[in-house]
């Protein structure tokens, strides 16, 4: 599946090492190498962690295709309605290659 229809739209990327990145998809190629603009990494803390969840700004961000596990469009209205500092969840594990 081509990601071309997602260009210039806000996407969420789950990486092979379990990171969650949100940004504007600026470019992609046939190897799924991605360029994101206004990128934010969401760090969701587990319920037992006292530290609040956080969003870390990265700006312009390049992701190699081999590190992309999932790419999807973001519902911006729903996304802005959530207070991400209060969100808790289990850690997403990395991708296992056999």
- pLDDT for position 93: 72
Reported as a single tens digit per residue, the pLDDT across 9-34 is: 999 999 999 899 999 999 999 999 99
Alpha carbons 44 and 91: distance in angstroms, whole number: 8
Q: In this model, does residue 42 exceed pLDDT 90?
A: yes
Scan for tokens 């603009």, then name that residue: 37
Residue 28: burial class (beta carbons within 10 Å; 0-12, 13-18, 19+): buried
Reported as a single tens digit per residue, the pLDDT across 71-86 is: 999 999 999 999 998 9
How many CA atoms lie less than 13 Å away from 76 in the CB half-sphere?
Answer: 5
Tokens representing 39 are 């990128």
């Amino acid at each position: 599946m081509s990601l071309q229809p997602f260009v210039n739209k806000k996407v969420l990327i789950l990486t092979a090492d379990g990171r969650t990145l949100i940004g504007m998809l600026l470019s992609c190629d046939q190897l799924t190498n991605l360029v994101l603009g206004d990128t934010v990494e969401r760090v969701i803390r587990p319920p037992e962690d006292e530290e609040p969840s956080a969003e870390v700004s990265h700006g312009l961000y390049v992701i190699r295709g081999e590190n992309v596990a999932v790419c999807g469009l973001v519902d911006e209205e729903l996304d802005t309605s959530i207070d991400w500092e209060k969100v808790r969840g289990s850690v997403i594990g990395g991708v296992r290659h056999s």
